[in-house]
């Protein structure tokens, strides 16, 4: 059991707000047309797929059917870069600090924690059923959803399901799937991607004639690392004995892209010196063998993704053949990103860098512009549940999301610009795992104290990532001048690079604003997550970072605020380790009274 709890997988997140309390009309909710049938939704969720290493460039069928026929949201983020927490956030529309599912396994995460937090009867498929949808799912739902706990209880909300189960979820050639209430079935020698494609097509065909609209979730395991199940089930298994190997492609794709290698961006295995903070700053420069192996790892990911590309092709062609394509939304995203070699990191995720949190989101469907790339509109995984519920015209009443619906029509996208949230609340608790080889000894498998909060802010003319770690080390990257996040302006070694001013405002003043933003975001709920500046300025005259930089707020930010800090590092969300809290006793600021006077 300990093995199972150790295991598992690794990834995901999301959350959202349906309506804001700013007296603005909710942005981007699809306009209901009561006469029209509710549209179908197909939601394809890959596992650990990167945006920054260009994996989509190797998926021509996904480009043809989804990118060219839909809208690519170029500023889409997950809010926690690990599978299960990210997925729970996605399906509930809540930040991980509000789900408290923050890990892949108990006690802080995994399917058992999802259930004990009450979400098995309060997440998207349940709400979609309430809206009249026939809900179907195949593939990985959560980590620590296993061959022993799959029926205690069964996941709620699905009319038909065919789940991948731990500890065999990442066993590409011997996966275990479990259909409806049937016992688990192991598939030795069959490839998980061929299996899931066949299952998805059969689910589609089964609903074609049904009068209800349907939601079909398809969650293939690629391009996640392969994990040898026996390394999870042996009696003395622990987090450092889990055996990750590069993903295993379908045989027909095994020799593709022989010359592909990880893009040699400026942050790839930098020779000039370490970057980041905490354990990342102590990483050694990778030697030639290490880089060669990691390039192989990269190619295996691209090859494994060919099975997903064919899955996308098969699903879209089947929708077309069934006459359903034009009335169906197809979403394509992943739980979290991935890094290989950037900042000298071994293959893995769990960091706050762009490689791990900035992920693909492509949508095609009724009213969604074709071939459009949306820049300057920040969207996150916690925005997805309200988006999907909006499409389904489900009841948002009584639900509190930490995100807000993503604008889908061209008109709504244009209206959202400058009015929508410009930030992502990034958070993480626990360990970082090296999924490659341990070149310097087994102690390089697990990085401890990888607990941090971050705020990614992308506005007109600025782009920052600010974070505070449980060690109280801090990071600030100015991505307009440092897009590869090589210069942590808050690290003592980088003093010489600190600009006197940013956006015409002195450096310290900008940092103070970002810290206050993070202070609100790290425990925000509902509309405070989408309108954090409103919590700091209840009069409503500050809508974004730029407004907050006004000179008249200098004193407010520089001298009157509490700072983000930690008391110690914990593996989960233990409030009392996390310093002062903004929302101590519920959130009820008095208009016009600075919050610090009464918190
Ligand atoms: C799906 O399940 C819900 C809840 O059990 C049920 O009310 C609905 O009729 C089912 N839909 C279909 C198409 O079977
Ligand atoms: C496949 O997995 C099953 C458990 O689901 C195990 O009993 C069997 O030995 C495995 N087969 C191979 C060939 O690894
Ligand atoms: C994990 O197991 C290995 C092998 O049994 C052992 O050497 C190691 O100390 C264990 N690590 C932890 C964190 O328990
Ligand atoms: C991790 O944090 C704990 C508690 O904050 C501290 O005692 C420990 O030394 C840290 N370990 C490492 C490896 O940094
Ligand atoms: C989150 O869950 C952990 C593990 O059950 C618990 O110790 C902690 O108090 C919870 N945190 C919050 C804020 O509820």
Query: pLDDT tens digits, residue range 347-357?
Result: 999 999 999 99
Stretch 519-532: mean pLDDT, rounded?
A: 95
Worst-scoring range by mean pLDDT, 144-158, 204-218, 225-239, 458-472?
225-239
**Cβ atoms within 10 Å of 584's Cβ, excluding its own:** 10
The closest ligand to the CA of 188 turns out to be 2
Per-residue model confidence (pLDDT) at position 343: 98
Cβ 446 vs Cβ 434: under 8 Å: yes
**Count of H helices and E strands in the chain?**
17, 22
- Alpha-carbon gap, residue 365 to 329, rounded angstroms: 4
Strands (E), 141-288: 160-164, 176-179, 185-186, 214-219, 226-227, 244-245
What confidence category does residue 25 fall into, taking pLDDT thresholds of 50, 70 and 90?
A: very low
Residue 590 region by backbone torsions, left for phi larger than 0, else alpha for psi between -120 and 50, else beta: beta
- In DSSP terms, 397 is beta-bridged to none
Active site residue 83: yes
- The values of phi and psi at residue 581, to 5°, are -120, 140
pLDDT higher than threshold 50 for residue 292: yes
- The values of phi and psi at residue 422, to 5°, are -110, 10
**What are 449's two structure tokens?**
């104290």
- In DSSP terms, 214 is beta-bridged to 134
Show the ligand 5 pocket: residues with CB < 6 angstroms.
100, 107-108, 572-575
Percent above pLDDT 70 for the chain: 91
DSSP 397-466: TT---SS-PPP-SHHHHHHHTTTS--EEEEEE-S-EE--S--TT-GGGSEE----EEEEEEEETTEEEEE
SS3 367: coil
Q: Is the CB of 243 under 6 A from ligand 2?
A: no
- Alpha-carbon gap, residue 342 to 298, rounded angstroms: 13
What confidence category does residue 231 fall into, taking pLDDT thresholds of 50, 70 and 90?
A: confident
Q: Which residue puts its alpha carbon closest to atom 12 of ligand 2?
A: 188
For residue 279, the ligand 4 atom closest to its alpha carbon is 14
Q: Which residue puts its alpha carbon closest to atom 13 of ligand 4?
A: 448
For ligand 5, the distance from its centroid to the CA atom of residue 98, given in whole angstroms, is 10
What pLDDT, in 10s, does the model give residues 45-74? 999 999 999 999 999 999 999 999 999 999
Per-residue model confidence (pLDDT) at position 362: 99
Stretch 223-240: mean pLDDT, rounded?
A: 87
The domain spans of the chain are: 4-423, 424-597
Q: Which residue puts its alpha carbon closest to atom 5 of ligand 1?
A: 159
Per-residue model confidence (pLDDT) at position 540: 87
Q: Which residue puts its alpha carbon closest to atom 1 of ligand 4?
A: 449
For residue 147, the ligand 2 atom closest to its alpha carbon is 5
The crossing angle, in degrees rounded to 10, of helices 83-92 and 384-392 is: 40
- In DSSP terms, 24 is beta-bridged to none
- The values of phi and psi at residue 487, to 5°, are -120, 100
For residue 210, the ligand 1 atom closest to its alpha carbon is 13
Name residues whose C-beta falls within 8 Å of residue 533's C-beta, 6 or more positions apart in sequence: 517, 542, 543, 544, 545, 547, 548
pLDDT higher than threshold 70 for residue 43: yes
Q: Is the CB of 225 under 6 A from ligand 4?
A: no
As a dihedral over the C-alpha atoms of residue 460, residue 389, residue 573, residue 119, rounded to 10 degrees, the angle is 180
**What are 147's two structure tokens?**
């061959």
Nearest to 141 by CA among 128, 158, 127: 158
Q: Is the CB of 168 under 6 A from ligand 2?
A: yes
The closest ligand to the CA of 430 turns out to be 4
What confidence category does residue 583 fall into, taking pLDDT thresholds of 50, 70 and 90?
A: low
Cβ 267 vs Cβ 275: under 8 Å: yes
pLDDT higher than threshold 60 for residue 4: no
- Alpha-carbon gap, residue 305 to 302, rounded angstroms: 5
Worst-scoring range by mean pLDDT, 145-149, 330-334, 394-398, 561-565?
394-398
pLDDT higher than threshold 50 for residue 6: no
**Cβ atoms within 10 Å of 590's Cβ, excluding its own:** 10
Stretch 159-184: mean pLDDT, rounded?
A: 98
Worst-scoring range by mean pLDDT, 28-37, 189-198, 547-556?
28-37
For residue 569, the ligand 4 atom closest to its alpha carbon is 5
Name residues whose C-beta falls within 8 Å of residue 146's C-beta, 6 or more positions apart in sequence: 4, 111, 165, 166, 167
* Residue to mutate, 278, 443, 447, 471, ligand 4, most ligand atoms under 8 Å from C-beta: 471
For ligand 5, the distance from its centroid to the CA atom of residue 108, given in whole angstroms, is 7
* Mean pLDDT over each residue of the chain, to the nearest integer: 91
Cβ 388 vs Cβ 85: under 8 Å: no
Q: Which residue puts its alpha carbon closest to atom 12 of ligand 1?
A: 134
**Cβ atoms within 10 Å of 326's Cβ, excluding its own:** 10
15 compared with 335, residue with greater pLDDT: 335
pLDDT higher than threshold 90 for residue 314: yes
DSSP 90-158: HHHT--HHHH---BSSTTTBHHHHHHHTTGGGSSHHHHHHHTT-EEEEEEE--TT-BTTTTTTTPPSS-
Catalytic option among 78, 83, 84, 569: 83
Worst-scoring range by mean pLDDT, 25-29, 98-102, 471-475?
25-29
Provide the sign of the torsion angle of the four alpha carbons 252, 257, 262, 266, taken in this order: negative
For residue 133, the ligand 1 atom closest to its alpha carbon is 11
Q: Is the CB of 71 under 6 A from ligand 4?
A: no
Cβ 368 vs Cβ 67: under 8 Å: no
The verdict on domain 4-423 having CATH code 3.40.50.300 is no
* Residue to mutate, 239, 241, 433, ligand 3, most ligand atoms under 8 Å from C-beta: 241
The closest ligand to the CA of 568 turns out to be 4
Q: Is the CB of 159 under 6 A from ligand 1?
A: yes
pLDDT higher than threshold 80 for residue 591: no
Show the ligand 3 pocket: residues with CB < 6 angstroms.
236, 238, 240-241
Per-residue model confidence (pLDDT) at position 13: 24
DSSP assignment letter at 25: P
Cβ 458 vs Cβ 75: under 8 Å: yes
SS3 194: helix
Q: Is the CB of 206 under 6 A from ligand 2?
A: no
For ligand 4, the distance from its centroid to the CA atom of residue 470, given in whole angstroms, is 9
Q: Is the CB of 277 under 6 A from ligand 1?
A: no
Cβ 332 vs Cβ 44: under 8 Å: yes
What confidence category does residue 596 fall into, taking pLDDT thresholds of 50, 70 and 90?
A: very low
Stretch 416-431: mean pLDDT, rounded?
A: 95
For ligand 3, the distance from its centroid to the CA atom of residue 239, given in whole angstroms, is 8
For residue 568, the ligand 4 atom closest to its alpha carbon is 5
* Residue to mutate, 448, 571, 579, ligand 4, most ligand atoms under 8 Å from C-beta: 448
Q: Is the CB of 160 under 6 A from ligand 1?
A: no
Q: 462-469 and 474-478 as β-strands: parallel, antiparallel, unpaired?
A: antiparallel
pLDDT higher than threshold 60 for residue 3: no
Residue 263 region by backbone torsions, left for phi larger than 0, else alpha for psi between -120 and 50, else beta: beta
Q: Which residue puts its alpha carbon closest to atom 11 of ligand 1?
A: 134
For ligand 4, the distance from its centroid to the CA atom of residue 542, given in whole angstroms, is 38
- Alpha-carbon gap, residue 369 to 17, rounded angstroms: 24
**What are 20's two structure tokens?**
């804001």
Q: Is the CB of 161 under 6 A from ligand 1?
A: no
- Alpha-carbon gap, residue 112 to 150, rounded angstroms: 10
What pLDDT, in 10s, does the model give residues 69-123? 999 999 999 999 999 999 999 999 999 999 999 999 999 999 999 999 999 999 9
Per-residue model confidence (pLDDT) at position 379: 98
Nearest to 15 by CA among 351, 381, 375, 331: 381
Q: Is the CB of 185 under 6 A from ligand 4?
A: no
For ligand 5, the distance from its centroid to the CA atom of residue 100, given in whole angstroms, is 6
Cβ 377 vs Cβ 28: under 8 Å: no
Per-residue model confidence (pLDDT) at position 396: 64
Percent above pLDDT 90 for the chain: 84
- Alpha-carbon gap, residue 490 to 281, rounded angstroms: 13
DSSP assignment letter at 474: E
């Amino acid at each position: 059991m300990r093995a199972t709890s150790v295991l598992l997988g690794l990834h995901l997140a999301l959350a959202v707000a349906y309506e804001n309390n700013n007296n603005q009309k909710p942005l981007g909710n699809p306009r209901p047309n009561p006469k029209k049938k509710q549209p179908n939704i197909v939601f394809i969720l890959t596992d650990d797929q990167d945006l920054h290493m260009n994996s989509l460039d190797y998926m021509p069928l996904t480009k043809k059917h989804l990118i060219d026929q839909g809208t690519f949201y170029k500023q889409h983020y997950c809010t926690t870069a690990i599978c299960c927490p990210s997925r729970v956030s996605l399906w509930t529309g809540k930040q991980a600090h509000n789900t408290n599912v923050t890990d892949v396994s108990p006690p802080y995460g995994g399917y058992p924690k999802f259930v004990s937090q009450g979400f098995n009867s309060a997440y998207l498929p349940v709400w979609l059923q309430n809206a009249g949808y026939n809900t179907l799912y195949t593939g990985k739902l959560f980590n620590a959803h296993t061959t022993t706990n799959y029926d205690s209880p069964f996941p709620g909300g699905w009319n038909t399901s065919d789940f991948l189960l731990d500890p065999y979820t990442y066993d590409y050639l011997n996966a275990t799937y479990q259909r409806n209430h049937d016992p688990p079935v192991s598939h030795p020698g069959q490839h998980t991607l061929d299996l899931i494609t066949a299952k998805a097509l059969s689910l589609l065909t089964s609903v074609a004639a049904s009068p209800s609209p349907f939601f079909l979730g398809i969650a293939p395991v690629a391009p996640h690392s392969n994990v040898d199940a026996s390394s999870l089930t042996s009696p003395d298994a622990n987090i450092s004995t889990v055996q990750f190997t590069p993903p295993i492609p379908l045989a027909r794709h095994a020799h593709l892209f022989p010359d592909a290698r990880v893009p040699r961006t400026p942050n790839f295995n930098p020779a000039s010196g370490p970057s980041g903070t905490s354990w990342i700053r102590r990483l050694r420069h990778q030697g030639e063998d290490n880089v060669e192996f990691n390039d192989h790892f990269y190619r295996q990911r691209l090859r494994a993704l060919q099975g997903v590309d064919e899955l996308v092709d098969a699903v879209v062609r089947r929708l077309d053949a069934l006459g359903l394509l034009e009335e169906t939304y197809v979403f394509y995203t992943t739980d979290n990103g991935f890094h290989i070699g950037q900042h000298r990191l071994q293959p893995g995720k769990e960091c706050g860098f762009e490689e791990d949190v900035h992920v693909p989101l492509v949508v095609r469907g009724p009213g969604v512009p074709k071939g459009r790339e949306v820049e300057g509109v920040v969207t996150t995984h916690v925005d997805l549940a309200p988006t999907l519920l909006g499409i389904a015209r489900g009841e948002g009443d009584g639900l509190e999301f930490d995100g807000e619906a993503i604008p889908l029509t061209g008109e709504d996208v244009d209206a959202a610009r400058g009015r929508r949230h410009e930030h992502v609340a990034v958070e993480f608790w626990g360990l970082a795992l090296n999924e490659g080889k341990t070149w310097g000894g087994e102690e390089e498998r697990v990085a401890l104290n990888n607990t941090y909060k971050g705020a990614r802010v992308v506005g007109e003319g600025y782009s920052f990532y600010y974070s505070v770690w449980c060690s109280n080390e801090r990071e600030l990257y100015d991505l307009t001048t440092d897009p590869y996040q090589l210069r942590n302006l808050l690290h003592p070694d980088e003093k010489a690079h600190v600009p006197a001013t940013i956006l015409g405002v002195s450096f310290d003043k900008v940092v103070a604003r970002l810290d206050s933003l993070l202070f609100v975001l790290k425990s925000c709920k509902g509309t405070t997550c989408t309108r954090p500046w409103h919590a700091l300025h209840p009069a409503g005259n500050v809508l974004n970072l730029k407004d907050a930089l006004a000179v008249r707020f200098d004193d407010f930010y520089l001298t009157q605020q509490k700072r983000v800090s930690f008391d110690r590092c914990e593996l989960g969300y233990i409030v009392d380790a996390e310093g002062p809290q903004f929302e101590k006793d519920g959130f009820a600021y008095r208009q016009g009274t600075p919050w610090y006077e009464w918190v």
